[in-house]
Every structure is written in C-alpha cells, then in structure tokens.
Chains A and B, each alone.
Chain A
C-alpha cells in the first residue's frame, strides 16, 4: 500500500511541476464558462421588434411608445394579426414580438389586471432571455407610473412564449455541457498522455521491470486526475452558482457520484488510448479527435440532438457525456432524484464497465 501512495505522490509532483498544463487545465473551463455565460449575454442594442396591437387604446399605445423609445429596441412595424408574426420570425426580420389583447386598457381599469404576450425567437437563447427581460422592465415601469397616478394596484402580466427553443437552452444548459467536456478532456487526454510519457521517457521499462503490479501503475496514475477533475468540477459548479446564478436544485451527493462515474469511464478510455500508441503526439491527437470532438458534437449542449438526422442521433448514444449531460441537467435544474435518472446511470455504468474491461484486457505487461 505504501508503494501505491508513493506512486500517487509522484504523479502529483508531475502534475504540479508542469505549470503550463496545470494552468490550462483550470484556466480553460473557467474561460469557457465566462465566455458563454457573460460575453454572449452582453447588453443588446437596437433589436428588431414588432407589435400586434389588438387593443389600440391609450395604455397599449403608451407602452408601445416606451418600447420604441428604448435603446434596446427598434420598432419594426405594427402588425394586424398573429399569423404575420410567424412569417416575420421565419424570415428572420425580427427577434421579438409583443401582442396586446383587445380591451387591454379596459381590463386594466376594470379588473386591475391585464395580460400581454411576449414571443421571442429563442434559437439564440441568451438573446431571447435578455430581450424578454427588457420588455418586462419597461412594462413594470409603466405599471409603476400608473400606480403613482391613481393609487390603485395595477397588474400587467407578460405571458412569455419562446419559439424554436422552448426550453431556452442557454447558460443553464451550457454549464452541464462544459462540465462533461472538461471531465472527458482532462481524464482522457491527461491520463493517456501521462502514461505514454513514461513510455517515451523509457521509465515505463523500469516500472515494468520492478515487482510493482503494472495495474497499480495505471490506477495510481488515474488518482491525481480523478482528484483534479473533481476540483475542476467544483470550481465550475461554484462559478456557475455564484457568478451566473445557476440553480442547483438536486442532491449534491448524487451529482458527485454521477460525475465520478463519468470520470472513471473517461479514465479507462484514456488508458485504452495509451495502450495503442507510443508517442505523446499521437495520444493527444487520438484523444482530441476521438473524444473531444464527439463530446462537443453529441453531448447536446452545442447542437440539439433532437434536431439531428437519425444516423447521428444513433451515434450520439455511444457518447458517454450525452448521458451524463442528461443526468446533470436533471439533478441541477430540475432537482430530480435517482429514481428519475436510473436508466441513464445504468447506461453509463455499462459503458464504464465495458471500457474498463477492454482496457485492462489490452494492457501490456511487457514492451511491444
């Protein structure tokens, strides 16, 4: 056991003394989260909107005027019906439509409450989210003014409809994606490189000629990356909760358990790669081409899988991160428990077992 710990210690030395790689490992996910989380939700100016005003009364006109006056919006035109909205969206002329029902002002006066409908093109979810928020703010301002005038509580409710991307896949969906990507990247890439490096340096020869169990070599190599991945995961989690106000509804324990499962799957994949190559370059290329790109494509956080052609949808099933992504979303956003994700978990367990089996089977206790 002491041998094992010494080995693990040595691996940590390697990791901490290679400053550049370490920086990249932690810097990259943070940069990604920041990029997608903030840069893309920056203030939006002069977005094209249109209105359908069935009411055509003082209240609706006043709100429309406010919308047109704001920096964020550029009023494109007023339409006569819902049907025209659909067409305008499809042509991509506008990003947002606001619909005032008939009797808007009278509803407001008689029932102290009225509804408007806000329809956004959510294929760019971050933008759609921001735009609807702006509309909400303007409507709230108007409400405030009327309350001040009449001392009566008015309620205008905005009913928001997102077109094309009703779940509004944005930052909230992006974070679990980045998590999956980072875990796969760190584990597959780093383990395979660190094993192949021993081969390149010739130290593998000495390790094999020692009485130390070759399998323990592999396992102790995996430990630091396992730990690193968990730290990385925690950093991303904290960033997204405190900086980006992501919800975390479910069980933290379950989240870490499921993440560990993906890590083990990725580690065994890394081992598999390191078995089939002798140079760090090839290992890196294999890991990037073989793992990173499929992860980006088929996890579902960049490109919705349900919109893909059938063959690609089938392929996506063999990508472990796809299942992890579903699991994490369920835990973080929907707050679901194990009973809701046991099927996905089972798939991941199966994959992990398979990768582990193959990589141990293929592991060489000699050279060549």
Chain B
C-alpha cells in the first residue's frame, strides 16, 4: 500500500537533514504509527507521501503510484490531516464539510455512512464557526473532512497533539473503527503511550528510524530486565541510583524510577535495596516490570 525506500529529505540546501534514508512498508488495512518527538522528521515523511514535497533521494509509492510522477492520482485516493488545524476557521462546521466534499467531487450524503459516527458528535454545533470549537471537536471535524471522499489511505499527522487525554482516547477509538472499514491509516504522534494502540510502529528520532515492528515485539526485544523502584525521596533516589556501580541506566518514570543492571544476576534486586537502605532511603519498593514503548525509545536513543 505504502512503501518507502531509502527516502531522504534535506532543507536549507542540505544543511538540515530532516529525513535520513528511511525505508518501511505499510500493508493494506493496517494502522501504522510513526512515533517520535518534534523534529524527528514525521511531518516531512507525511508530506512526501502526500505528494506535497519531493524527496531528495529514494523512492516512495502510495497504492502502487510513485509519489513524484503519480501525484495527480495519489491526490484523488488519499486523505490527509496536517498537524496544524487546517480548516477554515471562519466557516461553519457544515460549510467546511460541504466545501471539502465538493472539492473532492463528492457529496456529504454519498459517504455519510463513513463519517456518521464521528459527525453526530459535532452535529449539534454544525452552524458554529470552526474557529469557535474546542480542540477535541476541531479534530473530529478535521477527521470528517479528511474522510469525506472515502480515501483508501489516510495520513494523520499528529492528530492528538495538544488534545487532552479524554479526547485522545475517543480519537483512537474512532481510528480503530475506521481501520475495521478497511482504510489503511498512517498516524504520527509524539505521545509514546499511544504507540500500543497501533498495529505496527516505527520509532523515529533525528530523521532516522530506530526500530519498526509491532509494539509487542519492540517491547519484547528490550535487551535486559527492567526494574521499577521508589522511595520516600524520589529526587535523591535518582541521584543515588546514578552513583550505584551495578546500575546501568536509571531514569524517572512517573511515580517510579526505572533502572537496568549492568549484569543480569539474581541477587541484583536485594543488593541494590540494601545499598539504598544504607543511604537512608525509606519506604523502598522495587519490582521487575514490563517495559513500555517509552522505555524502549529511551533505550534505543542511548545507542
């Protein structure tokens, strides 16, 4: 469906390497996530795939069409939701939707079944101007507009950035239902916790892909056992952990600190707890945990 082969993109006459030899494939009907922080190259990749930018190197195709030569055809077949809210703020919800439907040579009625579930949530506000909607509703409207011509491939560039947790959850539920209708979805996000909601993900940093697989496989490939530890004084604990010889890496992670050991020994946990107690830590708690995608990302970044 979507393939990239050694795709590169530079800006400022080569001074900035935004995308560096990226290759991956997205299968038909897959929900594929591009996970990485701002500036990792996600938007550039999306813009090349949606024919808005020409790659400096490599080849890419969407639905078997080359992104450079087949741009006219691709534009008919894909849906795209850019990172910034890209609808007309001074048009109403209804006017925006009708406009985009006509733009793609279709009508709202024709594809209403596809957007119905999402649209009913914003329908009570259909005469309101888009600029006056809340973040979550804007995003739903933008998704409706991107879907209105029944695209076969949907590109969503950071659809959940700046959106609160509740709206984010709703949004991912909608994506799952769209996927069930057979639409191939490429989504990018800086939120690592959203990675597990995708079927396959690519972790990207500095224009390079660090890992591509299913979230489960990426977690499984975490090289060493991961432990979580907490005490009554978390900031001191982190400093002390960094000073411990047997600890390979340690970093804050929510209410715990996560750490790995240099060597995989059975007595690791107990000896560390003893050492920490000697340093005056109380209420110590330690357990082995399953890594999250964020743990994997941190681990991959340290290479």
Contact = CB atoms under 8 A, between A and B. Distances in A.
Nearest to B85: A202
Interface in A4-47: 6-7, 10, 13-14, 17-18
Interface string B101-127: 011110000000000000000000000
Contacts of A366: 51-54, 71
Interface stretch (B91-99, B201-209, B226-234, B291-299): B91-99
B76 interface: yes
A207 B83 CA distance: 15
A256 interface: no
- Return the 5 tightest CB-CB contacts between A and B, nearest first: A202-B86, A6-B102, A202-B84, A211-B76, A367-B52
B52 A211 contact: no
Interface in A333-368: 365-368
Contacts of A206: 80, 82, 86, 100, 145-146
Contacts of B72: 211
Interface residues of B, number: 33
B89 A201 contact: yes
Interface in A188-228: 201-203, 205-212
Contact of B86 (A14, A205, A367, A368): A205
B52 A3 contact: no
A202 B82 contact: yes
A13 B52 contact: no
A210 B99 contact: no
A213 B103 CA distance: 10
A368 B53 contact: yes
B105 A17 contact: no
A83 interface: no
A2 interface: yes
A10 B91 contact: yes
A211 B105 contact: yes
Nearest to A212: B103
19 contacts: A2-B102, A6-B99, A6-B102, A7-B102, A10-B91, A10-B99, A13-B88, A14-B90, A201-B84, A202-B83, A206-B146, A207-B103, A209-B50, A210-B75, A210-B104, A211-B72, A211-B105, A212-B104, A366-B71
Given A10-B88, A201-B89, A206-B86, 4 more contacts: A206-B100, A211-B72, A367-B47, A367-B52
Nearest to B146: A206
A6 B98 contact: yes
A367 B105 contact: no
Contacts of A202: 82-86
B51 A209 contact: yes
B105 A3 contact: yes
Contact of A203 (B53, B75, B87): B87
A312 to B, nearest CB: 39
B78 interface: yes
Nearest to A205: B82
Interface of B: 47, 50-54, 71-72, 75-76, 78, 80, 82-91, 95, 98-100, 102-105, 145-146, 149
Nearest to A201: B86
A3 B102 contact: yes
A208 B70 CA distance: 14
Contact of B103 (A7, A13, A205, A365): A7
Contacts of A367: 47, 52-53
B90 A17 contact: yes
A208 B98 CA distance: 17
A201 to B, nearest CB: 6
B95 to A, nearest CB: 7
Given A208-B52, A209-B78, A203 B86 contact: yes
B252 to A, nearest CB: 35
Contacts of A2: 102
Contacts of B71: 365-366
Contacts of A18: 90
Contacts of A201: 84, 86, 88-89
A200 B88 CA distance: 11
A209 B81 CA distance: 10
B85 to A, nearest CB: 7
- Residue from B47, B103, B145 whose CB has the most chain A CB atoms within 10 Å: B103
B103 A6 contact: yes
A202 B81 CA distance: 10
Contacts of B105: 3, 211
Contacts of A210: 75, 100, 103-104, 149
Nearest to B73: A211
A204 B89 CA distance: 14
A236 B87 CA distance: 36
A212 B50 CA distance: 14
Contacts of A207: 103
- Residue from A13, A203, A209, A366 whose CB has the most chain B CB atoms within 10 Å: A209
Contact of B95 (A13, A209, A212, A368): A13
B22 to A, nearest CB: 18
A207 B104 CA distance: 9
Contacts of A368: 53
Contacts of B53: 366-368
A209 B90 contact: no
A14 B87 CA distance: 12
